[in-house]
Structures are given as C-alpha cells and as structure tokens.
Amino acid sequence: MDKVLVIGTSYGGLEALKIIIPSFPKDFILPVLVVLHIGDHNNDSFIDFLNNISKLNVKEAEEKEVITAGNVYFAPPNYHMLIDNDASISFSADTKVHHSRPSIDVLFESAAWSFNSGVIGVILSGLNQDGTYGLKTIKKYGGITMVENPENAIASIMPMSALKQTKVDYVLELDQIAAKIIELSAKM
C-alpha cells in the first residue's frame, strides 16, 4: 500500500464523519485513518454505528496492523496513532499535542513521512489547532490537502487554523468532500 487518506477532526466531527465515511464506495482504493478527539472516552458505539451505515469496514485500529483498502481505522482513546514505513499502524502514549492524544498532527506527519505524495489529508470541524502542522507537512511532502469550509463547519477554529498556515488544495462544503476524495484517489 503506497497511498492513504487521513482525516482529523474534533468538536463537530461525529456529524461530519457520519456524512463522509458512508459516502465511500465498497471498492474505495484508499485505506482511511481517522483521528477523532474523544479524550478518555471509547468510541465503540460510534464505530459500530458507522460500520452499520458504511460500505467500508469501520474499526478501531490495532497495533502493528497493516493498513489495507476497504477499511477505516480509528485511533483508540489516549494513544497517538502513527503509520510506519511498512504501512503498519503503531501507537504511542507520548505527551499530548494541542491537549490531545490521539493527535491529528502525529498521524498526519507520520503519513507524510511514510507515503510522501501518496497522502490525502483532510481537516474537518474542531476547536483547536491540532492538524495544522500535520496538514502543512503533508503539503510539504507533495500530498493533497483539504479542509472543510470553516464558514459552515460546526466549529471553525481547526479548519481556519489550517487555512492560515497552509496553501490548502481544496476548501469544500461537507457534502462535497467525499466526492472530491473519490475523484482524486482515482488519479493518484
């Protein structure tokens, strides 16, 4: 696997992901890794809900699991999720980044380092700056960057921060994001 989709979100992310994830077709060619700021709470019920309405397999990521297309991997509570060079997932209990563990920046940076231009990075609704540096890193390594339009996001701080720091490739409404990702993935 040499391509990946990474998504980061916080406050408002549950609603955003309920729109995006079920829009991907069964034969979607990219593995999807998601950091959702949930603090110490487990996300099992949300993962089950998404799994029931999605064509892809939605699950909590496991240590050393090799990522494959057809799957959506959520970071577990209280662990940073990283992608290693062999396309496997690893976890870290390192210090919180932007008061968050899992951190979007940690996932996005590791994706950029491992996959270079084979990354699509997406920042959705959220209330802090987590993901801004990671999205900038994805752009630096030649990946594609996208943010939810902050004007219509439930929480605009996260997408707005990303826009201030990075010349983002696409700023889209929530209901346009999945279609653009599908279109771009076919060209990667």
5's enclosing H/E stretch is: strand 4-9
Whether the link from the prior residue into 22 is cis, omega within 30° of 0, is: no
**What integer pLDDT is reported at residue 98 of this predicted model?**
85
Catalytic amino acids?
10, 37, 130
pLDDT digits (tens, 9 = 90+) for 66-85: 999 999 999 999 999 999 99
CB 126, CB 161: distance < 8 Å: no
Amino acid letter, residue 137: T
Could you give the CA distance from residue 100 to residue 79 in angstroms, rounded to a whole number? 9
60's enclosing H/E stretch is: strand 57-60
Residues 6+ away with beta carbon under 8 Å from 5: 30, 31, 32, 33, 119, 120, 122, 181, 185
Residues 10-44: b if buried by 16+ CB within 10 A, e if exposed: bbbbbebbeebbeebeeebebbbbbbbbbeeeebe
Could you give the CA distance from residue 78 to residue 19 in angstroms, rounded to a whole number? 25
Global model pTM greater than 0.95: yes
pLDDT digits (tens, 9 = 90+) for 74-121: 999 999 999 999 999 999 989 988 888 999 999 999 999 999 999 999
State the total domains in the chain. 1
- H helix runs in 102-166, sequence order: 104-115, 132-140, 157-165
Range of the domain at 108: 4-185
Which CATH number do you get for residue 63? 3.40.50.180
Q: In the chain, which residues have pLDDT < 50?
A: none
**What integer pLDDT is reported at residue 39 of this predicted model?**
64
